[in-house]
A and B are shown apart, each in its own frame.
Chain A
């Protein structure tokens, strides 16, 4: 599939996955990939997340106000308290809004109505989507357990509330989430047992309970296919010594041969785990995958984001277009 087409499929992409799988990094890579094909992008960082600025080579944390991260990529933070204040202001309750948000009442109210925080935040995202503040809005969502609650709460509220402005808000959010032309969820995972199991479970839960359309699953940090490691080190050494390159006999110390062999077996074993998990994901979850290679870098900065955005674009290009199967 063409990258431009992929990025134009829906207005909002929610990036979700277990903690530590690289959601923030992948949010940055998706944003950058979209910017590379000429889209304007707004990244929304939710409560409890950080690190998106570093992925664009910048320092400091995001604030409530939008910030340009580079080219056509902007980003901002969005907390439930901000969303509540805005919501109340929009509903003519400016005078009490700050007090309500800061008096701990939100804690009490959100206990009474589970998900009010989520509905407020998603309601704000819906508003931004409606205003078309960017071609693509990328949401760096909380870890999966929370992401499920995050995305299902609106539906729960529509069922529970009898009426009033909050129900309208929740209905608007449900409309956003269930329209694939407006919003899709992309799950991010690692090629490891736990993250894959959790991805499979949450994919079904999200489809059933939140009614969202799932995009392809990003499998982050895939081990590259081992090349030239199929024969034991001792065998390779013995064979080359026997042939004798140009008549020379190569002296390879046994300790080195052992290190080569251990390293070889380790790589094969890790790749085996990785490949097995990708296979299991294909077997148990009928969604396309975008395999992103692990990158050899101490931390994710702008250079790494660019590499990952390219890798992601390559993976997107090999996706079969929707409806073609």
Chain B
């Protein structure tokens, strides 16, 4: 396959602004926590890896946490074989680049082991059926575990900068509130009440709660209620540890030093989603540190004379397909360049990084280096 692509310089709207580049570079040079967020299919994983790579190029020890990377990118980063463990990516840069593929369930298991008072307690939780389903079934668990892993790596003091890719989320609050959601689940009033019968008579449980429990047993089967009781019993005494940890993770996410990088493609629906995401972030007074627009259709021939056909060309039918192709690509490029102007204003003064659509798909280190060139020079 040809490795041809539009050179960044020829993409008219994407001529890099030096101040913007410096501001983008500051994110990878100065920050220690970077969260890449946005909707699905916009290339968050690629952008996260690109930021970590740029940090390594700047001489830092960088680690990127990827969530569900595409196989070829995972191969390129070498994260397939050892999930949840930082693996160094070999390359010619002054710093170090590590990558890790998130194992949501494994991260949760580690947490349980950390906060269990005895090995027996950890064991009984890990064996509980409800617990085993928790990682997959409770919405927000994967988000929380990504953030938990981020927290762990940040506090390991092994890295100068940790970049985390996030699961596709439409609503920024799902991400910011994920730590709380889990503790809220563990503190569910109804199931707290379930623990009471172990100490007092069932009569002490409210009538309404009894009715609910009976309903659940009737519809879903009594084993489920038993599992739940066992689960919450097993967790007894650990909630405090979990809550403290969740609060710490939450504080890290809310810390002004944590840089949020909003990733989008230039397609109108993706831009719209990113705008929604940004508005939710600003509701929480969380600033967007940078906006990255990925896969922007490139334009060709920056000067007018180069882009528009010279007089007399109409008379040459052989040139027509070439002219039509150039004109068509430039129309799409102009539209895409305009598509995110509103979003750019919304997140101002955040710098904007632009990665053009290349003639090939980015899933190898060379592609990441190319993307890093576009963003950081």
Contacts of A93 in B (CB 8 A): 215, 219
Cβ B10 vs Cβ A248 within 8 A: no
Q: Is B108 an interface residue (CB 8 A)?
A: no
Docked CA distance A262–B308 (Å)? 14
Cβ A273 vs Cβ B339 within 8 A: no
Cβ A105 vs Cβ B216 within 8 A: yes
Q: What would 6 A/B residue contacts be, using CB atoms closer than 8 Å?
A: A88-B215, A108-B185, A115-B137, A164-B218, A253-B305, A262-B7
Q: Is A197 an interface residue (CB 8 A)?
A: yes
Flag B127-141 by CB within 8 Å of A: 1 or 0 each.
001100110111100
Minimum distance in angstroms from A249 CB to a CB of chain B: 9
Q: Is A285 an interface residue (CB 8 A)?
A: no
Q: Is B348 an interface residue (CB 8 A)?
A: no
Residue of A nearest to B324 (CB): A228
Docked CA distance A264–B360 (Å)? 14
**Which A residues, 254 to 301, have Cβ-Cβ distances below 8 Å to chain B?**
255-256, 258-260, 262-270, 272-273, 276, 296, 298-300
**Which B residues, 270 to 316, have Cβ-Cβ distances below 8 Å to chain A?**
270, 298, 300-301, 303, 305-310, 312-313, 315-316
Docked CA distance A153–B129 (Å)? 16
Q: Known: A51-B269, A114-B137. Contact between A143 and B40, CB under 8 A?
A: yes
Q: Is B21 an interface residue (CB 8 A)?
A: no
Number of A interface residues in the complex (CB < 8 A):
76
Q: Known: A20-B270, A107-B138. Contact between A192 and B300, CB under 8 A?
A: no
Top 9 A-B pairs, shortest CB-CB distance: A20-B41, A19-B40, A228-B321, A259-B301, A269-B359, A255-B306, A263-B326, A265-B4, A263-B300
Docked CA distance A240–B223 (Å)? 82
Q: Is A229 an interface residue (CB 8 A)?
A: yes
Docked CA distance A258–B184 (Å)? 61
Docked CA distance A262–B358 (Å)? 12
Which candidate, A1-9, A30-38, A231-239, is the interface stretch facing chain B?
Answer: A231-239
Q: Is B345 an interface residue (CB 8 A)?
A: no
Cβ A164 vs Cβ B219 within 8 A: yes
Contacts of B300 in A (CB 8 A): 259-260, 262-263, 266
Q: Is B221 an interface residue (CB 8 A)?
A: yes
Contacts of A149 in B (CB 8 A): 136
Minimum distance in angstroms from B137 CB to a CB of chain A: 4
Cβ B322 vs Cβ A105 within 8 A: no
Docked CA distance A236–B325 (Å)? 14
Minimum distance in angstroms from A244 CB to a CB of chain B: 10
Q: Known: A114-B136, A252-B310, A256-B305. Contact between A265 and B359, CB under 8 A?
A: yes
Q: Known: A165-B219, A272-B2. Contact between A252 and B313, CB under 8 A?
A: yes
Q: Is A96 an interface residue (CB 8 A)?
A: yes
B191, B211, B308: the one contacting A108 at CB < 8 Å is B191
Cβ A251 vs Cβ B215 within 8 A: no
Residue of A nearest to B3 (CB): A269
Q: Known: A103-B212, A229-B322, A260-B322. Contact between A164 and B188, CB under 8 A?
A: no
Cβ A116 vs Cβ B319 within 8 A: no
Minimum distance in angstroms from A59 CB to a CB of chain B: 13
B130, B325, B360: the one contacting A267 at CB < 8 Å is B325
Number of B interface residues in the complex (CB < 8 A):
83
Cβ A272 vs Cβ B212 within 8 A: no
A143, A253, A258, A268: the one contacting B310 at CB < 8 Å is A253
Flag A83-115 by CB within 8 Å of B: 1 or 0 each.
000001001010010011001110111111111
Docked CA distance A20–B43 (Å)? 10
Q: Known: A114-B133, A192-B361, A266-B5. Contact between A91 and B219, CB under 8 A?
A: yes
**Which A residues, 180 to 194, have Cβ-Cβ distances below 8 Å to chain B?**
192-194
Docked CA distance A116–B70 (Å)? 29
Cβ B306 vs Cβ A273 within 8 A: no
**Which A residues, 31 to 82, have Cβ-Cβ distances below 8 Å to chain B?**
48, 51
Docked CA distance A161–B221 (Å)? 8
Cβ B322 vs Cβ A236 within 8 A: yes
Minimum distance in angstroms from B146 CB to a CB of chain A: 15
Cβ B188 vs Cβ A108 within 8 A: yes
**Which B residues, 306 to 345, have Cβ-Cβ distances below 8 Å to chain A?**
306-310, 312-313, 315-316, 318-323, 325-326, 328-332, 335, 339
Docked CA distance A229–B208 (Å)? 74
Q: Known: A19-B39, A258-B301. Contact between A266 and B6, CB under 8 A?
A: yes
Cβ A245 vs Cβ B316 within 8 A: yes
